[in-house]
Amino acid sequence: MKDTRTTNMLLLIIVIPLVFYLLKILSFIFIPLILSMFIALLFLPLMRWLNKRKVPKPISIFFVILIIAGVFKIGGELIQLSSKEILATEGVFFEKAESKLVSLVVLIEDFFGIERVQGENVLVHYFQKNNLLKNFGSTLDFIGDTLSMTLMTSFFVILWLAESVNFHKLLNYTLLKRRFSSVKTFMRIEKDIIKFVKVKFIISLFTGVGFSLACLFFDVSFPVFWGLFAFAINFIQMIGSFISAILLSLFAFVELDPTGTLLFFILTLTLVQVLMGGILEPIFMGKSFSINVITILVMLMLWGYIWGVPGLIMSIPITVFLKIILEQFSRTRVIASLIVGSEQKVNLPWKKNQ
C-alpha cells in the first residue's frame, strides 16, 4: 500500500506539469473553450426561462446572440467616442506630454550623471524609430489573434447554449460520476460564477464612472477613455485596479501642475478604488465566496503565465470552479479549505453520505 501511494504521488507530480504544458501549448483552443463556458453559464437562466415559455431553442439562441451583439455595439460606440475625444486634441496634449517627458528625462540624466550628445533629441535617443515597424508587426499579430479567439469563443458559446456540449453531463461522466452530486455541483458552479461576474461587472462599471467623473472634475483629458480603461482592466483581480490608478496618475502628472491639485486627484482615484474594491466588492461577494489573498496571487501568476491576459481575467472564475470540484471529494477538501482560507469551513449538504 505504501509503495502504491508513493507511485501515485510520483505520477501526480509528473502529470500536473504535463497538463499545464498542454494548456499553454493548446491555448488557442482552451482559452475560447473556457471563456465560452463562463459566458454560456451567464445566459443559461435566460435560456431556461425562455424554454419554460415554449420558445424554440434556435430562437432563444438567436435572442442571446442579439444581446451579446448589442453589448459589443455599445462597447464599440464608446470606443469610437473616446477615439474622437483623443483625436480632437489635434496634438496639443502630445506636445505637452513630450515637453514634460523631456524635462523628466533631463532631470534623471543630471541626477545620475548620464551624458548625451549635445543637441540630440531625447526621444530619438531613448526610443529608436526603427522599433516602430516591429511594434506595428506585433500589433497586427495581436489583432489577428484577438479576432480568431473572438470567432472561436462565439462558436463555442453557441455550442454550449445549444447543449451540443452539455456541461452537466460532462461533470457527471468525468469527475463526479454521480447524478445527484453532479446536479448539485453544476447548480452551485452556475450560481457562483454568475454572482462573481455580476458583482465584478457592477463594481468595474462604477469604478469606470468614478474615474471619468474624477477626470471631468479635475479637468484631465480623455475622461471617456480612462473610464473605459478602468472598467476593462478592473476585471483582472487585485492588480487591475492598481494598474489603472497608477497609469492615470502618471497621465495626470503631464496634464496637471505638480501642486495640490495633482495630489487631490490621486487621492480621489485612491478613494474610488478603496470604496469599490476594498469595501463594496467584498460585501457583495459575501463571506461564502471569499478566496484567500495568497491563492488569488498564485492563481494570477499561474494563469497569467499560461494564458497571458485572458488567463489573468479568467483566473478567479477558474479558481472558483476548482474549489467547488475539490469540495466534492473527502481527500481534496483540505485543499479547498486552503483556497477559501483557514477561517472558512467547507460545508456540504451531502458530506455525511461520503
DSSP 255-266: HS-TTHHHHHHH
149 burial (CB, 10 Å; 0-12 / 13-18 / 19+) is: middle
pLDDT at 342: 47
pLDDT at 294: 81
pLDDT at 82: 79
pLDDT at 188: 81
pLDDT at 120: 52
> CA-CA distance, 13 to 8, in Å (whole number)?
9
pLDDT at 172: 67
243 burial (CB, 10 Å; 0-12 / 13-18 / 19+) is: middle
Name residues whose C-beta falls within 8 Å of residue 101's C-beta, 6 or more positions apart in sequence: 122, 123, 254
**Which residue in this structure is represented by grid cell 483582472?**
236
Nearest to 103 by CA among 265, 267, 257: 257
**Size (the chain), residues:** 354
- Which segments of the chain have a pLDDT < 50? 129-133, 342-354
pLDDT at 209: 93
> CA-CA distance, 125 to 214, in Å (whole number)?
35
Three-class SS of residue 42?
helix
> CA-CA distance, 148 to 142, in Å (whole number)?
10
* Sign, Cα dihedral of 64, 70, 76, 78: negative
Q: List, for residues 258-317, the tens digit of each pLDDT value.
A: 677 888 998 999 999 888 877 888 777 765 556 777 888 888 889 988 988 888 888 888
Entry pTM: 0.76
